[in-house]
Structure 1
Amino acid sequence: MSDRCTWCGSVISAKDGRRYCPRPRSCRQAAYRNRKRAAAAFRARIALLQIGGEIRGRCEALEQALADVVDSRHAAPGLHSTAAADFASLTRELIRAAVVADRAAGATWEEIGRPHGLTADAARARWGHLRLIWPPERPSP
């Protein structure tokens, strides 16, 4: 009777109730490190979901506002710049949360910088000091 290691999938004997390979703790330690990284990235991942929802809601509002302006044929001064500013700030927060989540999950600076066209050093210089600040504080009424 045999079973498989939870981490690497290699065959292990099921009679002793092990979940990981009996090798010198490598699979068990790797699984532990992976669980710790996933837990550390949890808050940042929740922030990513919230920011994505915020962007989606603002996209729908912008689409509706632009449709109203087109239908009524009004100039709507300031509408376009206000919408662009909202998206710029949300995009910065989205990138901030993504970097924090990736670092907590164990990504290297090279892996983080590559999609942005940055070297590892440039990514570290740009985002190395970031901390999660989402959701932003609401002003007191």
Structure 2
Amino acid sequence: MWERCLDIDGLCSREEYVWSILGLIINGLIYLSIVNHATQKLKSLSPLAYIIINTVIFSILFIPPGTLTLRRLGDGGNGTWWLWTLVLILLPNSIVFSFLKIATVLYVFYMLCQPSKSRTSLSAEDYNDVGNTKGE
């Protein structure tokens, strides 16, 4: 997983996605437990070191799932722009926005669960749309 953590153009099967996300969740829980015990010591030593360490670890934990999700959306035949819809989570709390947030998260989850679309099953016109413009 780590050798392709910044690759957003590749493909990602459902199995690879699930195992990778599960591993990242476990790593995140370990990180949170360590941070809860070490927060006071780090803050008292150097607030700048605390910020730098947290930023690096946060990046390590959250950049790979983002690229995995982009690859999984692309492999499922969906547009990768759907990941941007998760920004709706930042909307203020209200009944309408809460429904919109829940519906969006559930729909993106549904798209992540779709089976992979093989490149060989694409028609010639679809293949040209994907990026192979050799005949033009």
TM-score by length of 2: 0.45
- Higher relative contact order, chain-length normalized (CA < 8 Å, sep 6+): 2
TM-score by length of 1: 0.44
Which has the greater radius of gyration?
1
Greater helix share, structure number: 2
Greater strand share, structure number: 1
